[in-house]
Structure 1
Amino acid sequence: MATGRSRGPASRPPRRPGAGRSRASGRGGASQSPPARAVAVPAGWRGRLTQAARDRRARRGLVLVAVLSFLAVLLGSSVAAYVGQRSDIAALREKVAAQEQDVAALEAERERWRDPAYVEQQARQRLKFVKPGEKSYTVLDAEPEAGTDDPVAAVVEPGGALPWYQVVWESTRTADAPGARR
């Protein structure tokens, strides 16, 4: 059942070098430029196969880029949340470590307060307690330092001391209108 037609490379005659040139360019001219090298797509079924392979590679590349961009969009928020949570966990671990140090310091202070000698020392220093038969002396400074933040000392004129009721009156006036201080 041969029809006389043959498909495939065996039926075509081999190509000759320079067969694609026209006769006019092949005649004896002295200055001819070499032909431009262009990627020639073979005509016929080979050309269609070559073009189909190129199209297939282009489509595959396009699909790959689309899938990768979809994955980047899909996983982007998850990765950002993961990184944020890891930093939150690190901050909380630091906070727990600081609180454990505070707890240790407070437990050490609690142990000091269980010692009767420490309690007695604190009562003498802070509350001015004395044992029966002891005498306690408190030295008052006659001239306070200039850097004190005593509100009563700020109201009193440097030239003389005001009576207590005048000091109270001046402090209420100063508290009502800080700019109207006389």
Structure 2
Amino acid sequence: MATGRSRGPASRPPRRPAGGRPSASTRPAGSSAPPAAAPATGWRRLLGGVTGDRRARRALALTGVLVLLVILLGSTVTAYIGQRGDIAALRDKVAAQEQDVAALQAERERWRDPVYVEQQARQRLKFVKPGEKSYTVLDPEPDAGNRDPLATIASSDEELPWYQGVWESARTADAPGARR
């Protein structure tokens, strides 16, 4: 029942040295080139040049680490920048509100002055002291520039077209306190 193959320890191929690389004594003298590699099989053959070149592997690993950092820190940095903008906007708003508070405090101090209160009562409420007379102009002369152009047309003695006469009569009827 012998098939020609032995399964004992003598049939195994010899082991490689522990360092993983052939020693300098096994290389040909005067040769600086690395020994020929065994043909790649499986997934190593697919990666081919990348696994054979240390620089390329390191660059690939560094690129992977950088991409991972960008992914992990991207949202954090974006949130940080957004929050810095919000803080700046809130500081501006606080500064504007502080100015408003200062203006309101100054106005409050003016209202504490009896002379200012008296002045405002005379201007706004038309108050007078006993014995004084107050005059109020009810109908000042109208300016020449403030006249209504349709009123000027209606007051002229020219013959108006029928549609303008209808418009003028409707306008006069709708106007509060219209004069006839």
In the superposition, the TM-score normalised over structure 1's length comes to 0.57
What does 1:1-182 correspond to in 2, within 5 Å?
Answer: 8-10=23-25, 14-15=29-30, 42-44=34-36, 54-139=52-137, 142-146=140-144, 154=148, 157-158=151-152, 159=155, 169-171=173-175
Query: Which whole-Å deviations, capped at 9, do the CAs of 1:78-132 have from their partners, x for residues lacking one?
Result: 1011011101101110110110110110011011111111111011112211111
Q: CA deviation at 1:155?
A: 8.9
**One-letter identity of the residue aligned with 2:129:** K
Aligned equivalents of 1:134, 1:84: Cα separation in 2: 65
Aligned equivalents of 1:58, 1:115: Cα separation in 2: 84
Q: How many residues align?
A: 130
Of structures 1 and 2, the one with the larger relative CO (CA 8 A, separation 6+) is 1
**Any stretches of 5+ residues in structure 2 without a counterpart?**
1-21, 38-48, 157-169
The range that moved more, 96-105 or 55-64, is 55-64
**Any stretches of 5+ residues in structure 1 without a counterpart?**
1-6, 17-39, 46-50, 161-165, 173-182
**One-letter identity of the residue aligned with 1:119:** V
**Would you say the 8 A contact 1:156–1:167 is kept in 2?**
no
For residue 9 of structure 2, what is the aligned residue in structure 1? none
Aligned equivalents of 2:150, 2:134: Cα separation in 1: 31
Q: CA deviation at 1:74?
A: 1.4
In the superposition, the TM-score normalised over structure 2's length comes to 0.57
**Cα distance, 1:52–1:139 mapped onto 2, change above 3 Å:** closer
SS, match of residue 44 in structure 1: coil
**Would you say the 8 A contact 1:124–1:130 is kept in 2?**
yes
Aligned equivalents of 2:95, 2:52: Cα separation in 1: 62
Percent identity of the aligned residues? 61
Aligned equivalents of 1:121, 1:114: Cα separation in 2: 12
**Cα distance, 1:100–1:131 mapped onto 2, change above 3 Å:** same
**One-letter identity of the residue aligned with 1:127:** L
**Cα distance, 1:88–1:12 mapped onto 2, change above 3 Å:** closer
**One-letter identity of the residue aligned with 1:10:** S
